């Protein structure tokens, strides 16, 4: 195929789709790119993939093909085997390395998923050095999870290497792939559907054609298959059509009717092929020609059998199915390929449960050299409990997990539990499935149910479920890319509630469980999660130990931290040294975040990073980067903070720590907000909320709101700033168990004042004073003094700002210091103290400039213009100038709002912003300011 356009390979109505695909292939010739085709079954995604694959080949690209198989979802790296396995068979087995072990082609220690991803990335970039590479994957929704996760890890790191990924997926979801452009393959228009039927069925009567177009609703598969079910007389219009043709029902019937016409031997063989999964002729052959060549791991014979002659026998019974177009036989690679996935479903639906069990038994006998597949087929072939088969599945689960496929391991353990005659064995396997399931995609929400099922298996036993398993499960569940805060919390609460009382505070496992529970509550961010934590802490005897006590007293609800708790935290930080456990240094530092103890933790964290073993302790290292980056941001070392945040995001992505990746994104977003990069703030916070919201991590959403608040303040969008800040904690309240409320006291106060909400601002400052926030640290004292000055009357504000800025050590927090100087300068201008105002504004500008806070620097520059305190109408927006003129004419806010179709609050906000620009403090001065502008501008 020389060109990819309308009419390519019989495609109809796909001009737009083909144009997008043509541009995609051309892009892949110069850089990496990824595109996902989504849509309902039968929309023609596979036909588009075939067309673009041929187009890419003609243009010199190497095309790697794979397709998800519904019955291979539990087989680890089945998809990866299809994709890159053929490449590995061309080299000596000893040279296949990590990939060879992962794909079961060579022996060796099981590699981690990052190692497999690195190997795939190296393979692809090596090929790309020779020419463009295009990976084409059909039915991504049925791709096995390990293969999908490897591709997810590889894709963001291909850079400008000429590697493309084109996938087709049913529905509208493309999983967790980042950087993938999504394109929906829409149903055909009526004109395109009519053209397709005319081309494929030229003898069809016009009335029949119109009826099928109406019934198919643009689904190409239905358009092609529905006519097959019609008699010749019905197609020509000589016989009447059925009254109703429900699309989904009719399509199933189309496939079923074609399968029913096949000889019994063919149907049995097709059932074997569907249940076997790979379509290997070697397994399907009557004489079981050479099953070892099917696949040492999951029978992808085309990639695992370089010598296809011995393993590609003729299978005569496939002929009838091939002749009616249900499948094709690829004798070169020894496989059969079903023409459409729905064919598989129809074959299974037409079989009885007994026929399926018999087929699994046959496959088990033919796959004795493949222990995992042998175990699974034996498990499907029985209905009664069988400890022998259960043990085989449990062994398969271990091997599957060692290959990195935790989802497959869970499936094996669950089936092993079902087949366990003993309640004790069933319980043990269910608990193990709960642990493994905590890190498995698609299994997370079933973990509490699995534990409940395990308890019911053997009610007479006095043993309690292994708490260590629950701890590890919740830990991974909390931090992994598949994170789920609520499930982790429920899992730990259930496990701890099953322990005998009182809880032993000297039991390391119990303490670790409660520590992990504190993190589920912290990141979950809801009071009810903390309530369960406090209830369980109260059960610890003889008392709450070490860092756990600190986190309980200063992290859970810092607004209500007592002076004694702060003293204990200070003492614990002072005791940190080389002998302190890695995790205890991290937990002690974390306890100090919201009570401003990070500066004291700076050196212990630096020393910790240099300690032996920290590089291997993934979560510890990521926490160090997060805490150090936050401390550097607050200290005004923004370049250092950016380096730490970038490193954290990079390491978290590579290791699969989704939650800790969000912590790095948060710091990146705060830096972008401080520097006025609104586009980056939006992109970063969208990524944070998009990941955290469906997983129940409310804390991450609050962090995103903080960055959005700061960005809005920087650009002068005070209404948005107020909305974001008050969404974290409402004005007048430091919400219970919302630690981030402490960080936004000054932000919310400023936003409230600048939007005319004086009462709300005053209430919020009062709440912060009631909590004793100013006594927590010198930085909080500065922030509280600035907030007090913001709400002060004009005649008192200068003195209060001066007192705040005179506090010793305010230079330690340059950004907060400069913001206080900026607001002070603005208030001085409103009081017509122009010379003093310019001094404060220039000091603020210099600090902002050193930080790289460009948007804030520009604000200070605008306020400190040589004209003094009056900028005049030229500095007003068009709407502000209109409002000022109407106000000067004597109209009230309500009258102005009605005339301009605005709210009274919006009018008030614009006037509040306009007053300092005109050098007035009330409406009474507006008329003189406008009339005597030239005289006013000459004042110093």
Distance in angstroms (rounded) separating the CA atoms of residues 579 and 295: 52
Provide the pLDDT for residue 450.
64
Other CB atoms closer than 10 Å to residue 323's CB: what's the count? Answer: 9
Q: Residues 373, 360: contact at Cβ < 8 Å?
A: no
Provide the pLDDT for residue 303.
33
Distance in angstroms (rounded) separating the CA atoms of residues 545 and 728: 31
pLDDT surpasses 70 at 244: no
Of residues 725 and 506, more confidence is placed in: 725
Q: Vertex 171, ends 170 and 176: CA angle to 5°?
A: 90
Distance in angstroms (rounded) separating the CA atoms of residues 841 and 863: 7
Q: Residues 634, 618: contact at Cβ < 8 Å?
A: no
pLDDT surpasses 80 at 564: yes
The lowest-confidence range among 386-390, 579-583, 683-687 is 579-583
Angle, helix 15-28 to helix 45-58, in steps of 10 degrees: 40
Mean pLDDT score, 24-45: 86
- Residues with Cβ < 8 Å from 567, sequence gap 6 or more? none
Residue in this structure with the two tokens 């981690």, named with its chain if needed: 112
Angle, helix 878-888 to helix 893-900, in steps of 10 degrees: 130
Provide the pLDDT for residue 870.
41
In order of 366, 753, 872, 875, the CA distances from 883 in angstroms are 85, 19, 14, 14
Q: Residues 230, 278: contact at Cβ < 8 Å?
A: no
Q: Hey, what are 621's tokens?
A: 């290292």
- Residues with Cβ < 8 Å from 151, sequence gap 6 or more? 80, 120, 135, 165, 177
Of residues 433 and 18, more confidence is placed in: 18
Provide the pLDDT for residue 874.
53
Q: Hey, what are 465's tokens?
A: 């479920």
Of residues 174 and 311, more confidence is placed in: 174
Q: What is the pLDDT of residues 692-724, one digit of tens each?
A: 887 888 999 999 999 999 999 988 888 889 999
Distance in angstroms (rounded) separating the CA atoms of residues 646 and 652: 10
Q: Hey, what are 446's tokens?
A: 């079933």
Question: What is the phi/psi pair of residue 66, to 5°?
Answer: -160, 160
- 3-state secondary structure (DSSP) of residue 184: strand
Mean pLDDT score, 571-575: 88
Nearest C-alpha neighbor of 513 from the set 542, 537, 535: 537
Mean pLDDT score, 6-20: 76
Provide the pLDDT for residue 9.
55
Nearest C-alpha neighbor of 184 from the set 172, 193, 166: 172
Confidence grade of residue 434 (pLDDT, cut at 50, 70, 90): low
Residue 183 pairs with which residues in a beta bridge?
Answer: 37
Mean predicted lDDT score pLDDT of the chain: 79
Query: Could you tell me where the DSSP H helices lie in 161-315?
Result: 190-200, 206-216, 220-229, 232-236, 247-260, 264-276, 281-284, 301-304, 308-311
pLDDT surpasses 60 at 143: yes
Question: What is the phi/psi pair of residue 62, to 5°?
Answer: -85, 125
Distance in angstroms (rounded) separating the CA atoms of residues 23 and 450: 48
Q: Residues 328, 339: contact at Cβ < 8 Å?
A: yes
Rg (CA), the chain: 34
Q: Hey, what are 314's tokens?
A: 């003729």
**Which span out of 434-443, 447-456, 915-924 was modeled with the highest average pLDDT?**
915-924
Q: What is the pLDDT of residues 543-556, one digit of tens each?
A: 887 788 888 888 88
Mean pLDDT score, 295-313: 38
Distance in angstroms (rounded) separating the CA atoms of residues 411 and 661: 29
- Residues with Cβ < 8 Å from 423, sequence gap 6 or more? 457, 458, 461
- 3-state secondary structure (DSSP) of residue 510: helix
Q: Is the peptide bond before 658 cis (omega within 30 degrees of 0)?
A: no
Half-sphere exposure (CA, 13 Å, Cβ side) for 396?
Answer: 30
Q: Residues 79, 147: contact at Cβ < 8 Å?
A: yes
- Chain-centroid distance of CA 375 in Å reads 34
The H or E element that residue 544 is part of is: none
Nearest C-alpha neighbor of 230 from the set 248, 256, 208, 249: 208
Provide the pLDDT for residue 390.
93
Start-to-end C-alpha separation, the chain: 78
Confidence grade of residue 910 (pLDDT, cut at 50, 70, 90): confident
Provide the pLDDT for residue 388.
92
For 376-444, give the secondary structure using H, E and C: HHHHHCCCCCCHHHHHHHHHHHHHHHHCCCHHHHHHHHHHHHHCCCCHHHHHHHHHHHHHHHCCCCCCH
Of residues 306 and 669, more confidence is placed in: 669
Confidence grade of residue 291 (pLDDT, cut at 50, 70, 90): very low
- Residues with Cβ < 8 Å from 15, sequence gap 6 or more? 5, 6
DSSP 263: -
Q: What is the pLDDT of residues 354-396, one digit of tens each?
A: 988 999 999 998 888 889 889 989 999 998 999 999 999 999 8
Mean pLDDT score, 205-229: 79
pLDDT surpasses 70 at 250: no
Provide the pLDDT for residue 90.
62
Provide the pLDDT for residue 668.
94
pLDDT surpasses 60 at 479: yes
Q: What share of the chain is helix, strand, coil (3-state, %, to 5)?
A: 65, 5, 30
Mean pLDDT score, 894-898: 82
Helices (H) and strands (E) in the chain, counts: 49, 9
């Amino acid at each position: 195929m020389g060109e990819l356009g309308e009419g390519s390979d019989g495609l109809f109505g796909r001009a737009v789709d083909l144009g997008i695909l043509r541009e995609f292939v051309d892009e892949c010739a110069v850089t990496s790119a990824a595109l996902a085709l989504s849509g309902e079954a039968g929309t023609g995604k596979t036909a588009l993939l075939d067309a673009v694959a041929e187009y890419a080949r003609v243009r010199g690209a190497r095309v790697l093909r794979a397709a998800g198989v519904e019955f291979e979802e539990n087989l680890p790296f089945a998809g990866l085997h299809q994709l890159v396995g053929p490449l590995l068979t061309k080299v000596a087995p000893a040279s296949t390395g990590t990939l060879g072990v992962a794909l079961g082609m060579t022996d060796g220690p099981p590699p981690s998923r990052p190692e497999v991803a690195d190997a795939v990335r190296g393979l692809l970039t090596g090929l790309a050095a020779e020419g463009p590479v295009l990976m084409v994957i059909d039915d991504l929704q049925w791709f096995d999870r390990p293969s999908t996760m490897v591709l997810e890890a590889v894709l963001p790191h291909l850079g400008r290497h000429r590697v493309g990924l084109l996938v087709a997926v049913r529905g509208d979801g493309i999983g967790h792939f980042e950087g993938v452009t999504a394109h929906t393959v829409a149903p055909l228009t009526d004109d395109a559907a009519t053209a397709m039927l005319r081309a494929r069925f030229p003898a069809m009567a016009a009335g029949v054609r119109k009826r099928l177009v109406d019934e198919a609703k643009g689904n190409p598969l239905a358009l092609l298959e529905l006519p097959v079910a019609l008699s010749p007389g019905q197609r020509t219009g000589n016989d009447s059509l059925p009254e109703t043709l429900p699309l989904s029902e009719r399509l199933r019937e189309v496939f079923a009717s074609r399968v029913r016409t096949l000889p019994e031997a063919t149907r049995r063989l097709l059932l074997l092929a569907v249940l076997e999964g790979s379509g290997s002729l070697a397994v399907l052959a009557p004489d079981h020609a050479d099953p070892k060549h099917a696949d040492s791991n999951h029978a992808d014979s085309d990639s695992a059998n370089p010598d296809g002659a011995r393993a590609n026998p003729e299978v005569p019974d496939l002929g009838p199915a091939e002749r009616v177009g249900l499948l094709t036989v690829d004798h070169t690679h020894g496989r059969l390929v079903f023409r459409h996935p729905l064919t598989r479903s129809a074959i299974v639906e037409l079989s009885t449960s007994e026929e399926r069990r018999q087929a699994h038994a046959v496959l088990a006998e033919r796959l004795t050299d493949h222990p995992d597949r042998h175990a699974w087929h034996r498990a499907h072939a029985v209905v009664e409990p069988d400890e022998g088969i259960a043990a085989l599945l449990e062994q398969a689960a271990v091997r599957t997990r060692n290959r990195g496929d935790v989802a497959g391991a869970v499936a094996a353990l669950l089936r092993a539990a079902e087949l366990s005659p003993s309640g004790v064995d069933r319980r043990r396997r269910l608990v193990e499935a709960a642990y493994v399931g905590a890190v498995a995609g698609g299994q997370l929400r079933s973990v509490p149910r699995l534990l409940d099922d395990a308890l019911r298996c053997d009610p007479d036993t006095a043993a309690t479920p292994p708490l260590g398993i629950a701890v590890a499960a919740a830990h991974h569940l909390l931090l992994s890319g598949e994170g789920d805060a609520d499930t982790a919390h429920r899992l730990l609460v259930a496990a701890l509630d099953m322990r005998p009382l009182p809880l032993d505070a000297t039991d390391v496992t119990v303490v670790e469980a409660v520590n992990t529970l504190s993190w589920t509550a912290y990141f979950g961010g809801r009071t009810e999660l903390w309530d369960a934590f406090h209830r369980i802490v109260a059960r610890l005897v003889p008392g709450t130990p070490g860092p756990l006590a600190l986190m309980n007293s200063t992290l859970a609800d810092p607004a209500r931290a007592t002076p004694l708790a702060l003293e204990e935290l200070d003492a614990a930080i002072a005791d940190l040294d080389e002998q302190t456990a890695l995790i205890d240094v991290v937990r002690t530092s974390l306890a100090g975040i919201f009570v401003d103890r990070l500066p004291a933790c700076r050196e212990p964290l630096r020393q910790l990073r240099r300690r032996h073993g920290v590089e291997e302790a993934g979560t510890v290292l990521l926490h160090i980067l997060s805490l150090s980056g936050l401390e550097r941001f607050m200290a005004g070392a923004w370049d250092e903070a950016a380096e730490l945040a970038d490193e954290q995001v990079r390491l978290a992505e590579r290791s699969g720590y989704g939650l800790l990746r969000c912590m790095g994104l948060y710091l990146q977003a705060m830096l972008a907000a401080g520097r006025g990069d609104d586009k980056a703030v939006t992109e970063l916070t969208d990524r944070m909320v998009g990941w955290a919201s469906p997983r129940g991590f409310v804390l991450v959403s609050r962090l995103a709101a903080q960055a959005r608040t700061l960005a809005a303040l920087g650009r002068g969008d005070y209404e948005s700033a107020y909305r974001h800040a008050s969404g974290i904690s409402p004005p007048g309240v430091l919400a219970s168990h919302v630690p981030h409320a402490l960080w936004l006291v000054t932000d919310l106060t400023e936003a409230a004042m600048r939007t005319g909400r004086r009462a709300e601002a005053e209430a919020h400052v009062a709440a912060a004073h009631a909590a004793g926030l100013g006594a927590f640290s010198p930085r909080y004292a500065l922030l509280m003094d600035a907030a007090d000055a913001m709400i002060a009357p004009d005649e008192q504000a200068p003195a209060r700002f001066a007192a705040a800025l005179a506090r010793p050590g305010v230079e330690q927090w340059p950004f907060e210091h400069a913001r206080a100087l900026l607001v002070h300068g603005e208030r001085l201008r409103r009081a017509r103290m122009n010379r003093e105002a310019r001094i404060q504004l220039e000091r603020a500008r210099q600090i902002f400039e050193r930080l790289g806070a460009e948007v804030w620097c520009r604000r200070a520059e605008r306020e400190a213009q040589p004209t003094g305190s009056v900028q005049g109408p030229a500095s007003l927006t068009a709407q502000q100038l209109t409002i000022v003129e109407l106000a000067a004419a004597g109209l009230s806010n309500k009258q102005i709002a009605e005339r301009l179709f605005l709210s009274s609050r919006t009018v008030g906000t614009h006037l509040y912003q306009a007053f300092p620009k005109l050098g007035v403090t009330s409406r009474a001065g507006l008329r003189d300011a406008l009339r005597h502008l030239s005289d006013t501008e000459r004042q110093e």
